[in-house]
Amino acid sequence: MKVKSLLKKKVVIPVLALTIFFTGTAFKSDFFEIAKQIEIFTTLFKELNMNYVDDTNPADLMDTAIKGMLDELDPYTQYYNEQDVEASRINNTGDYTGIGASVRTAKDKLIIVEPYKDYPADKAGLKAGDEIIKVGNTVVADFKDDAGELLKGAAGTSVEVTYTRQGKTAKATIDRSEVDISAVPHFSMVDDKTGYVVLSKFTRSASKEVKNAIRELKVKGADKLILDLRSNPGGLLLEAVNIVNLFVPKGQLVVTTKSKVKKFNKTYYTQNEPLDTKIPVVVLINGSSASASEIVSGALQDLDRAVVVGSRSFGKGLVQRPRPLTYGTQLKITISRYYTPSGRCIQSLDYWNRDKDGNAVRISKDNYSEFKTKNGRPVFDGGGVMPDVDMTIVNNKSIIDAIVESNLVFDYATNYYYKNQGKDISDFTFSDADYNDFKSYLKSNNFTFETKTEKLLDKAIKSAKKEDLLNDISAEYSALTQRLSTSKNNAIDANKAQLQVLLTDEIIKRYVYREGLYEYYLKENPEIKKATSILSNTTTYQSYFRP
C-alpha cells in the first residue's frame, strides 16, 4: 500500500498537472498524442514498480526518466527539485545564508573551490582545495543526498567540519551568516581617465550595481570605461536590457525573442533615461561569456556603441523560463531564441539536428548569415559574438576543457600554493619551468584525453577484429597510435598560452583572493592593456565603428 500511495503522489498528480498545463497552451492541437503517451508511461511505471523482481525506488526512477527525456532536448531545459529551486533563487539574487564559499561536491567529500574573503569559511581558516569529509557527525561519504545541503543553515548557527589539507586532517567551526554575492565584485581606475568594471553575473541587482560603480568612477575622473564580461555565464535578461540602457537612449530596441508559442514573442526596449550615451566603452568577452553577456556585448556592438575585445563568446542564443510544477519543483524550459538589434541569433550549437553519435552540431561557418550594425558594419550570426578585436589564444578548446574538467588546473594550483607559501606574487609570472612542472603533473596524474580521431580509429579496429583483418593492419595501427600520442602532446604545448592564463588566475586567487586577481589584471592582463590603448586614442576608438 505504501508503494501505491507513493506512486499516486509521484505520478497521478503530476499527470493531472501536465494535463491542465497542456490544455491551456499551443500544444492543444497535439493533446491527444500527448495524453496517449502520458497514459502509456503511467501504466508502464505502475507495472514496473509493482511487479519488478527487486525493490524499486519510484522517486529515483522518475528522476532518471525525466532527466533522460530532457537530455534529448538541450542542456538548458532542466528539471529542478526543491533544492535546485532554492539554488536558482540564490543565483538570481546573490543572497543566501551559509558558510560563504563556493563548494564542489565529489563522491565522498566536499571540496572548497573558493572561500569568499572575510566570510565565515575564510574566517574559520578554510582555504581552496580543502576537502571536507565530515559535517557535524555526518560522514560525507555516507550521505546519500546532496552533501552540500549539510553546510546550509540559519544565520548565527554554527557547524563543525572535519577536513583534510595536504594529507593532514583538521577540524574547524564555521559560524554561518548572511552572504551577499555582489554582481560587481570589482571596480577601479586603470589610469587617471579610464574606469574598469567587472560584472560577474546578471542578478536582480546587476544593473544597479554597474550604474553605481560607473558613477563612482566618474567622480574619480573616469571619462572612458572598460566593462569586463569575461566568464560571465549570464542570468536575467531584463538586467541585460537595463545595462545596455546605461549607454543608449530610452526607447532603443535591445533584444527580440521568438518562440512557437505566440505569447512568448517579446521585444525588449530600453525603458529608462541613460546614464551616459557619450562615454567611450570597451566590452571584454571570452569563450565563457554567455547568454545575457552576449545580449549586452552583441547589442552594444550592433548599435556601434562599444568596441568588443577578446575572443568569440560562448554562443547561447536560447531563452529559458521556469514553469512551476507540483511539490515545489520546477521545469526550466527553453521557450525561445533571442535576436540582437541587427536581427542575428548567435546560437552556436544546433540541438535539433544532431550527428550520428547524438551530439549537437556546431553551425558551420559557411552557413553564417551577414547582418549590419547601425553604421553598416558586417556582423554574423551562428557562432557567438565575434569581437571587433580578436585576442584568441586557444588552439584546441577540447583539450583545454578536458584538462579543466579533470580539475588538474585547480589541484596543481593548490599544490603550488603549499609549496610556495609566503611567496610575493605582486609581479607573478607563471614561468616556463612552472609550465614544464605542470606538464609533468598531468603525466603523473595519468591525464588522458580521447580525440575524435581516436574514437573513430577505435571503431575501425573493432570492425577489423570482426572481419579478421587486425593482423594485416597491426603495424600501421601501432604507428598511427604513436603518432596520435605525439600529436596530443604537441596540442597541449600549442595551448600553452591559455593554460598559463588559467594556472596564473587560479594560483593568484590562492594568495590574494579574487579581489587581488582583479588588481593583478590591471597591471598584467593583455586584454585590459589593449582596451586601455584603444580608449586612449579617440581616432583609433572611432575607427572601429566605420563600415
Rounded distance, CA 385 to CA 31, Å? 39
* Strand duo 224-228 + 281-285: pairing: parallel
329 phi, psi to nearest 5 deg = -95, 170
- Count each helix (H run) and each strand (E run) in the chain, helices first: 17, 23
Grid cell 556601434 — which residue? 304
Grid cell 512557437 — which residue? 260
238 phi, psi to nearest 5 deg = -65, -30
Q: Of 10, 316, 332, 488, which is the active-site residue?
A: 316
Q: Are 523 and 212 in contact (CB under 8 A)?
A: no
Rounded distance, CA 353 to CA 452, Å? 19
- Alpha helices (runs of H) in 273-373, residue ranges in sequence order: 292-302
Cell numbers at residue 544, please?
A: 572601429
Q: Are 214 and 194 in contact (CB under 8 A)?
A: no
> Is 357 tagged catalytic?
no
> Is 474 tagged catalytic?
no
Cell numbers at residue 14, please?
A: 503530476
* Strand duo 194-198 + 266-269: pairing: unpaired
The SS3 of residue 501 is helix
> Is 29 tagged catalytic?
no
Q: Of 231, 289, 291, 293, which is the active-site residue?
A: 291
Q: Under 8 Å CB-to-CB from 233, ≥6 apart: which residues?
A: 201, 288, 290, 291, 293
Q: Are 135 and 171 in contact (CB under 8 A)?
A: no
Q: Of 122, 228, 302, 434, which is the active-site residue?
A: 302
Catalytic residues: 291, 302, 316
